[in-house]
Amino acid sequence: MDEDVVRERDARAYEAVHDAADFKELKRRYKNFVVPWTITFMVWYLAYVACNNWARGFMNTEVIGNINVALVFGLLQFVSTFVIAALYGRFANRKLDPLAAGLNAKFKRERRR
């Protein structure tokens, strides 16, 4: 098959998927999850950095033995990253993947035309 014909067919298929209401819904759902969680994580991270710079007395407070607030906050950075990743995985499986599968099927149908 001619390469130009394949490109033309692929371009039409991509346009059909891009124009689909499900694609717009997929983008909306993705943004509605990612933007708030990104902002939340960045605020949490910047608060941690700010406290390390300007609230050293608080961050040096011992919690248990030699474990201080700074160490706990640092470990919570890792925990929060994994929690957000797990929440995203669950969200994607329930809300994004079904739409994406439908769009993938639509793309394949359009490509065969």
Q: What is the pLDDT of residues 18-64, one digit of tens each?
A: 999 999 999 999 999 999 999 999 999 999 999 999 999 999 999 99
Nearest to 36, CA basis, from 75, 83, 84, 77: 84
Above 80 in pLDDT, residue 1?
no
Mean predicted confidence (pLDDT) in 70-78: 97
- Computed over its alpha carbons, how large is the radius of gyration of the chain? 23
Task: Tell the burial category of 31 from Cβ atoms under 10 Å away from its Cβ (0-12, 13-18, 19+).
Answer: exposed
Supply the pTM of this predicted model. 0.85
Q: Average per-residue pLDDT in the chain? A: 95
55/75 Cα distance (integer angstroms) = 18
